[in-house]
Each structure stands twice: as C-alpha cells, then as structure tokens.
Amino acid sequence: MLVGVSQRLTEVTSFLAEILTPRAPLTVIVDGGDHGAAARFASCLAAAFPPSARAWKVDAVLGLTGPSGGVLDSAMNVLEPATDRVIVYLRSGARGPAGEGERRAQVVIDNNDPQWPVIRELHPRLAGPERWHLAESQAFFAPRAAGWDEKFGDDLPAYARAVAAAGPAPGEVALDVGCGTGRALPALVAAVGPTGQVIGIDCTHDMLAQARARGRDRGAALVRADASHLPLADATADVVFAAGLVHHLPDPAAGLTELGRVTRPGGRLVLFHPTGRAALAARHGRELRPDEPLNEDNLRPLLTGAGWALSSYEDDDNRFLAIAVRTGSTG
C-alpha cells in the first residue's frame, strides 16, 4: 500500500484496477478540476494494477485537449498505447455549469474528501451496478449520516405534509424506503396509529443508527436492506413513502417494480423531496437533464411499466411530490 493512502482509496482504486485490467491494453485518463488530486489518484490507481499489468507505463501528467478544443487540467495515465480509453473524472466542489468533464467520463468519483473517494457513476460496459452500486451508496451516505439532520433539520414539517398527502389511515402498514435518519417516521407512526405498522428501511447502517439515536424507532421497526431486494412478502404494504431515493437507485424501473411488488393493489406510493428538482440541481451546481427518471414525462411511463398509475405530480421550488396508486398490472 502507498504511504498515506486510506483504506477507502485503496478499495476504490483496487476495484477500478480489477474491472479495467481485462480491458487492456487501454489508456486511463484521470481528469478533474484539481490537478494535484488527479495526479495522486492516477498513481494510486496505477499501483493497484496486478503484477501482470505492472509492465504498463505510467506517464507524467499531461495536458488533455477536450472535444471543445480547450485544454483540460488533467492527469493522463498511459498504461499502454491503445485505442480504447477510459476517463475517470474526480468531482470536487460544485460542478461546473456545463458539467463537460463529467459528461465525457465513464467513471465519476466524488473526491471532495480525497481520503474518502466514492464512485458515483460507472458506465455499465465496465461493470454492472450489482458489482459496485450498493457498497458505494453506503460509502457515500455513511459519513453524511451524523450531520444529516443538522444540515436539513428545517424540513421536518414538509415531511409531515408529504406523509399527509398519502393519507395513511389507522391500522395500515406503511413503509419508508430509504428512510435515512427517519425524518418521515414520526408522522407515519402517528397516522397509522397503534393498530398500524411502520417499517423504515435503509441500506446504510449509520443512517439507521442516527434514526435510533433520535428516537425515531418509537413505534417503527428499522430494517437494513436494499430497496431493490426488499425482505418483505408480496402485497404487504398499504403505503410506501420514498424520499430522495429513486434517483439513487441504479435501475429506477426495477426499483419501482420492487416497491410495487410489496404493495397491495390500491396501495399508494409517495415520491418526495423537500426541494424541487430544479432547485436541487442548482444547489448541486448542475443542470436538469431531460432524461432524468423523475421528469414527469419519464416518470409516468416508468411507473406504468412497474404496476403503478401516477395520480398527482408537483415539482416546484418548495417540493417534489409524486403520488401513484398500485394497479397491479404492468405495461
């Protein structure tokens, strides 16, 4: 291991080396706004390749001419002269308005903390999401869990209003999938009452630990599980609440189908975010793309294909709220 290299950096670079080695010969370009960080990442990645690949040469940092003709501030890590190339983009700070670097990349890494890089996007031709996505989601959310409510604490009344929009009734079974620190759980517990049941589900241990520490497991069960493979029988739930979850799933269509599987016909699905999509994109320094799954034109057919019918859709600065009813039929 290189001196000063964190366990997380080793995990990420070892994984990338593992999936890239069979593609050799190829050129790996590490790109990013921070020239030094790109060069450091490139040398860790080079060191992670197996002995069979050691003969590959690691060149010095080079300027890379982008498609727009501009010279990008990049590290070029030439493993072997080759026609195939893979661009790894290191994201640090807010994204540029055009997001040009990210768009050209096959691998996007959140490198805001260079000791804790997290893969955020990986082209499916390099590896299917089942190989990396869940572990990287957990790595992304775990360090954010402790500060989550301090950062977004003012949103609690908005969660209560979103829960009310789903109309959970006394005695019903409600799920909060991707519940995080459990901000919707008290409102769900109050709505279904003592004869109902609430289950909060999240894949990140630290998020559920925060929910417990804040007493949000009062009247609710907390379960650690993957939203794409829920440990629940078919038609268990009357209401499924999912705030800020769908765009984190590698395959939103499959995820919505799984949420549908565990919901009884006539049950409701609430997709919520306390900030509208445009405002959220602006907060993250990016532009809304027309192909995003929560865009109404995409969400409606996605839901239909997953056995839901979209019944209302709101997307303004103050919230994103889409409600769907389980039809049971797909297509």
Taking residues 124 to 163 in sequence order and writing x for each that binds ligand SAM by CB under 6 A, - otherwise, the string is ----------x--x---x----------------------
Q: What is the distance between the alpha carbons of residues 79 and 46, in angstroms, rounded to a whole number?
A: 8
Choices 56-64, 119-127, 224-232, 313-321 (CB under 6 A): range interacting with ligand SAM: 224-232
What are the angstrom distances between the C-alpha of 223 and each of 78, 182, 194, 217, 245?
45, 12, 19, 10, 16
- Nearer of residues 204 and 257 to ligand SAM, judged by Cβ: 204
Choices 73-81, 222-230, 292-300, 311-319 (CB under 6 A): range interacting with ligand SAM: 222-230
Choices 9-17, 46-54, 88-96, 172-180 (CB under 6 A): range interacting with ligand SAM: 172-180
- Asked if residue 244 binds ligand SAM (CB under 6 A), the reply is yes
Taken as a whole, the chain contains a residue count of 331
- Asked if residue 226 binds ligand SAM (CB under 6 A), the reply is yes
Binding residues among 246-285 for ligand SAM as defined by CB under 6 A? 248-249
Q: What is the distance between the alpha carbons of residues 121 and 136, in angstroms, rounded to a whole number?
A: 10
- Nearer of residues 129 and 328 to ligand SAM, judged by Cβ: 129
Concatenated DSSP letters of 74-118: EEEEESS--S-EEEEEEE-SSPPSS-HHHHH-SEEEE-SSTTS-E
Among 79, 119, 127, 179, binds ligand SAM (CB under 6 A): 179
Pairing, β 197-202 against β 220-224: parallel
Q: CB of residue 208 vs ligand SAM: minimum separation in angstroms?
A: 8
Among 13, 111, 228, 275, binds ligand SAM (CB under 6 A): 228
CA quadruple 9, 79, 61, 31: dihedral positive or negative? negative
Q: CB of residue 103 vs ligand SAM: minimum separation in angstroms?
A: 23
Phi and psi dihedrals of 235, rounded to 5?
55, 35
What are the angstrom distances between the C-alpha of 156 and each of 102, 181, 218, 306?
33, 11, 17, 30
Q: CB of residue 6 vs ligand SAM: minimum separation in angstroms?
A: 21
- Nearer of residues 181 and 257 to ligand SAM, judged by Cβ: 181
Q: What is the distance between the alpha carbons of residues 158 and 138, in angstroms, rounded to a whole number?
A: 25
Phi and psi dihedrals of 122, rounded to 5?
-145, 125
Among 32, 168, 178, 196, binds ligand SAM (CB under 6 A): 178
Binding residues among 16-55 for ligand SAM as defined by CB under 6 A? none
Choices 78-86, 111-119, 245-253, 309-317 (CB under 6 A): range interacting with ligand SAM: 245-253
Helix (H) / strand (E) containing 264: strand 263-273
- Asked if residue 120 binds ligand SAM (CB under 6 A), the reply is no
Q: Are 200 and 211 in contact (CB under 8 A)?
A: yes
Among 204, 210, 257, 263, binds ligand SAM (CB under 6 A): 204
- Nearer of residues 140 and 313 to ligand SAM, judged by Cβ: 140
Pairing, β 85-91 against β 27-32: parallel
- Asked if residue 227 binds ligand SAM (CB under 6 A), the reply is yes
Give the interface with ligand SAM as residue ranges (CB under 6 A).
134, 137, 141, 178-181, 183, 202-204, 207, 226-228, 243-245, 248-249
